[in-house]
Structure 1
Amino acid sequence: MEITFKTIKKEDILTVLPLLRKLNTTTPDTILKERLLEMTTYNTYECIGAFDNDKLIGISGLWYSLRHYSGKSVEPDHVIIDESYRGKNIGKQLFNWIYEYTKQKGYEVIELNTYTGNRKSHKFYYNEGFEIYGFHFVKVMRKDKKLY
């Protein structure tokens, strides 16, 4: 097993769908594809892949911003490691790669959100030195009031 990390090219972004679908089970496929394709058009987003040889086994989106309270900030998003590779330190390796990669780009702070029920991720992020700074609120403005 040789694990490597690299950015996923815009033209290859749909290769992340099988892993992303394990994390996001509610968004219809057509909408998920549309959103992924649109996200790659923003200069503030890129996707990182973890690979076992050529097999995609993990992903993390990265959102870049400048915030008045923290400076140049990056937010890992939709972080997932394939179930068969969990417990092998790949998440830690992925985050170490992200730390170095984003530091080299001049980013000063990493912020992220995690679902309240995802306790395994909470433990992971605490062990990585993250602290709870605030709450993430969501207001759905669509007529159906559903989040998907």
Structure 2
Amino acid sequence: MSFHFKIIDKKNINSVIPLVQKLNGSKVSDAVLKQRFSEMITQNYECAVIYDDEKLIGVCGLWFCTRHYSGKSVEPDHVFIDDDYRGRGLGKQFFCWIYNYVKAKGFESMELNTYVANSASHKFYFNEGFKILGYHFLKKL
């Protein structure tokens, strides 16, 4: 196995949809995801991926912004590693690559959301040094 990490070319963004569908349990159709990703790539968004040779096995969206309380910040979003590759330390390697990538771009902080029921992700992020600062609220309009 030869793992490599990179930022996916925006023209290939739809290749991450199958992994995002696994993360979300197919709650959003492929058509809607294609439309949303086509908008996202025009905003302050990039998508980091993991390949095992030529097979796409991991994804992490990156939203870039400046916040008054944390400065130049990046928000990882829809982080997912294929089930067959979990438990191998790949998430830690992926985030190490992401930390180096965003620091090289001049970003100084990272914050993220994770689903309340996803206790495995909570453990991972605590182990990565993240702290809980508040709650994330959502209201559909």
TM-score normalised by the shorter chain: which range applies? Answer: over 0.9
Structure 2, gaps ≥5 residues long: none
Q: Who is 1:54 aligned against? A: 54
Structure 1, gaps ≥5 residues long: 142-148
Residue correspondence of structure 1 range 13-92 to structure 2 within 5 A: 13-24=13-24, 25-42=26-43, 44-92=44-92
Q: Who is 1:146 aligned against? A: none
* 2:113 matches 1:121: no
User: RMSD between aligned alpha carbons?
Assistant: 0.7
* Residue range with higher mean Cα deviation, 116-125 or 16-25: 16-25
Percent of aligned pairs sharing the same letter = 57
Alpha-carbon shift at residue 28 of structure 1 (Å): 2.0
Distance 1:88 1:38 in 2: 34
Alpha-carbon shift at residue 37 of structure 1 (Å): 1.3
TM-score with structure 1 length normalisation? Answer: 0.93
Q: How many residues are matched?
A: 140
Alpha-carbon shift at residue 30 of structure 1 (Å): 1.3
Alpha-carbon shift at residue 29 of structure 1 (Å): 2.0
Deviations for 1:61-89, whole angstroms, at most 9, x for unmatched residues?
00000000000000000000000000011
Q: Give 4+ residue runs of structure 1 displaced > 4 Å after superposition.
A: none
Q: Which amino acid in the other structure matches residue 33 of structure 2? A: L
